[in-house]
Amino acid sequence: MVFIAMMLIQARSLQAQKTSETRVWSADNGDGTYKNPILWGDWPDPDIIRVGDDFYMVSTSMHYVPGCPIITSKDLVNWQMAGYAVDHYREDPRYNLKGGEMYLRGSWAATIRHHNGLFYVGFCTPNWGKEKGHFSMCTAKDIKGPWKRTIFPEYLYDPGLFFDDNGKVYVAHGQGKLYVTELASDALSVIGKPRLIWDKSIAVPKGSTAPKGGYGMEGSHVYKVNGYYYITCPAGGTQGWQMCLRSKSIYGPYESKVICQDESSYPGNGLHQGGMVQLKDGSWWFMIMQDRGPIGRVPNLVPVVWKDGWPMLGKDGNSKGVTRYPKPITRKHAAISLPATSDEFSSPKLGLQWQWNHNPDNSKWSLSANKGYLRLHSSFAKDLVWTRNTLTQRVQGPSSEAVVELSLSGLKDGDVAGFGIFQSPYAYIALKQSGRERMLIMVNNGQVIDSVSHFTTPKIWIKAQATDQQFMARFAYSTDGTHFKWMGTPLHMGLGYAWTANRFALFNFNTKKGNIGGYADFNWFHFTGANPSIKAR
C-alpha span between 368 and 195 (Å, rounded): 53
Q: Which residues of 498-518 are buried (b: 16+ CB within 10 A; e: fewer)?
A: ebbbbbbbbbbbbbeeeeebb
3-class secondary structure per residue, 160-187: EEEECCCCCEEEEEEEEEEEEEEECCCC
Q: How many residues can be counted in the chain?
A: 537
3-class secondary structure per residue, 233-268: EEECHHHCEEEEEEECCCCCCCEEEEEECCCCCCCC
C-alpha span between 173 and 177 (Å, rounded): 9
Closest Cα partner for 491 from 524, 442, 526? 442
C-alpha span between 167 and 210 (Å, rounded): 41
C-alpha span between 6 and 337 (Å, rounded): 25
Contact 492, 380 (CB under 8 A): no
Contact 520, 407 (CB under 8 A): yes
**Which is it for the CA torsion 313, 317, 319, 325, positive or negative?**
negative
Contact 178, 141 (CB under 8 A): no
**Which is it for the CA torsion 63, 67, 70, 71, positive or negative?**
negative
515: amino acid identity, one letter: N
DSSP string, 449-506: EEEESS---SEEEEEEEEETTTTEEEEEEESSSS--EE-S--EE---SSTTPPPEEEE
Q: How many CB atoms lie within 10 A of CB 52?
A: 7
- Cα Rg, the chain, nearest whole Å: 24
Closest Cα partner for 408 from 518, 298, 327? 518
DSSP string, 10-72: HHHHHHHHHHHHHHS--SB-SSSEEES-SSSS---S-EEEEETTEEEEE---BTEESEEEEEE
Contact 299, 288 (CB under 8 A): yes
H helices, E strands: number in the chain: 1, 40
User: Given 21, 218, 405, 468, which residue is catalytic?
Assistant: 218
The question of whether 154 is a catalytic residue gets the answer no
- What separation in angstroms does the CA of 308 have from each of 129, 259, 305, 317? 44, 12, 10, 11
The question of whether 218 is a catalytic residue gets the answer yes
User: Given 45, 47, 75, 415, which residue is catalytic?
Assistant: 45
Which residues are the active-site residues? 45, 218
